[in-house]
Amino acid sequence: MKKNISLALTLVILTACHKEAPIPSLEERYEKYFPIGAAVGQKQLQGLDSALLIHHFSSLTAENDMKVSRTIKSMQEFSFTAGEHLVDFAERHGMQMRGHTLVWYHQTPGWFYRDSLGHYLSKEQLLQRMRWYIHQVLDHYRGRVYAWDVVNEAIADGSAMFYRQNIDWYRVCGQEYIKKAFVYAHEADPTIKLFYNDYDLINPVKRDKVYKMVKKMIDEGIPIHGIGMQGHWTLEDVNEQNLSAAIDLFASLGVEVQITELDISVYPYYHNMDRSTLPKEVKPYTPELAKQLADKYEEVFQVLRKKSEKITGVTFWGVTDKKTWLSNYVVKGRTDYPLLFDSLYQPKEAFWKVVEFVE
Ligand code: G3I
């Protein structure tokens, strides 16, 4: 039903393959396991990116276009155009649409927390503004976005602090902003699935904090339906044991588990690290590196298939290595190769390891 794709692009997909058979579709290969998604921006809804999206993915996330900074320009001006392009594309091609994200300390403009004189709002005022914002956004996308990352990255790294405290949401509202966001989202639209989303959840310290927070929310009757494990792993951190343990623990709460931002960096672990100390040298993409990445993806997807009854979605944070936040953000200018398709839109060895498995 969704394969509305031009002949030229189809040919590119079918011939951009070193093997003789056509390239299998990720989404079809994983149909009986879970939807496969990709996070993109509106500029990727054309050309080869869109061809790959249509062929391989059954779910779409806005990498940036539904964040607060892109959605609201001032108290008088919302800007839904970019997000709408994504939703339109998803609908045209029979894809699910995930919303990302309603409440995050990052990519939220400074004025959002302040009054017209530049003074911080009171806790009550900020919670009211949050409620108003969530209602506006969920009203706008009603019936078109099936799940939202309601709160993103509220838990601190390491063991010194439980919540991330050096952010405006916490400074003004304390930890209560987290629960309130879910309550407001549910009252705005009780039909959508509400996720808490965070990174490094294979790390037992952070994993257990998220477990504890979500358990408490469930015990208190807060409407929360899922935990998004972002992914953003590296060759050295994710493995069969820590991934399985995290999925099992979160699923034991009775909530959905999704991998929401999957990519695997070929550089060392970088979460909670001083970025100036991270290696700056660009690794060449050698056959050895390609194999290491492929083996790691194989290990990850073996776990995901095995645990598929507990998983309701796996979304890659991007489509090809040509456009990945990892090539510019963690270390400026450093090229990374974290996805299944290379910068020339060709499937990598990792792709084949993900699609070629024995049932
Ligand atoms: O669009 C502007 C462009 O006009 C300007 O010229 C350029 C100059 O720097 O910036 C562009 O905006 C950048 C935007 O990405 C689009 O490329 C922002 O500076 C940059 O900060 C922004 O980075 C995004 C990052 O979130 C911000 O924290 C990444 O694309 C996006 O992949 C990343 O996504 C996050 C998830 O939302 C949450 N989990 C972690 C994940 C990775 O950091």
Task: Return the ligand 1 atom nearest residue 106 CA.
Answer: 28
- Looking at per-residue pLDDT, the higher value among 11 and 212 belongs to 212
pLDDT of 334? 96
Q: Does 64 sit in the ligand 1 pocket, CB within 6 Å?
A: yes
Instruction: Determine if the pTM surpasses 0.85.
Output: yes
**What gap in Å lies between CA 341 and CA 320, rounded to an integer?**
5
Q: How far apart are CA 264 and CA 347, in angstroms?
A: 15
Tens-place pLDDT, residues 223-255: 999 999 999 999 999 999 999 999 999 999 999
Give the mean pLDDT of 326-349: 96
Residue owning the nearest CA to atom 30 of ligand 1: 325
Candidates 78, 199, 90; CA nearest to 134 is 78
Q: Cα(208)–Cα(241) distance, rounded to whole angstroms? A: 15
Which CATH architecture best describes the domain 7-355? Alpha-Beta Barrel (3.20)
pLDDT value at residue 10: 54
Q: Are 99 and 90 in contact (CB under 8 A)?
A: no
Please state the rounded mean pLDDT for residues 305-320: 98
pLDDT at position 2 over 70: no
> Ligand 1, atom 34: nearest CA belongs to which residue?
63
Q: In a 10 Å sphere around its CB, with 0-12 CB exposed, 13-18 middle and 19+ buried, how is residue 210 labelled?
A: buried
User: Which run of H or of E encompasses 256?
Assistant: strand 256-265
Distance CA(237)–CA(201), nearest Å, equals 11
As a residue count, the chain comes to 359
153 is catalytic: yes
pLDDT at position 1 is: 44
Ligand 1 atom nearest to CA at 324 = 32
Query: Of all protein residues, whose CA lies closest to atom 26 belonging to ligand 1?
Result: 64
CA–centroid distance, residue 165 to ligand 1 (Å):
22
What does the pLDDT average to over 273-296? 96
Q: Whose structure tokens read 């009603």? A: 142
Q: Average per-residue pLDDT in the chain?
A: 95
Domain ranges of the chain: 7-355
Determine the distance separating the centroid of ligand 1 and the alpha carbon of 6, expressed in angstroms: 30
Residue 299 annotated to the active site: no
Spatial neighbors of 329 by CB under 8 A, at least 6 apart, are: none
Q: What is the pLDDT of residues 175-212, one digit of tens each?
A: 999 999 999 999 999 999 999 999 999 999 999 999 99
How far, in Å, from the CA of 331 to the mean position of ligand 1? 13
Residue the block writes with tokens 């839904």: 80
Closest residue CA from atom 13 of ligand 1: 64
In the set 27, 153, 256, 349, the catalytic residue is 153
Alpha helix (H) residue ranges in the chain? 7-15, 26-29, 47-56, 68-71, 81-92, 123-140, 168-173, 176-188, 204-219, 240-251, 287-306, 349-355
pLDDT in tens, 92-115: 999 999 999 999 999 999 999 999
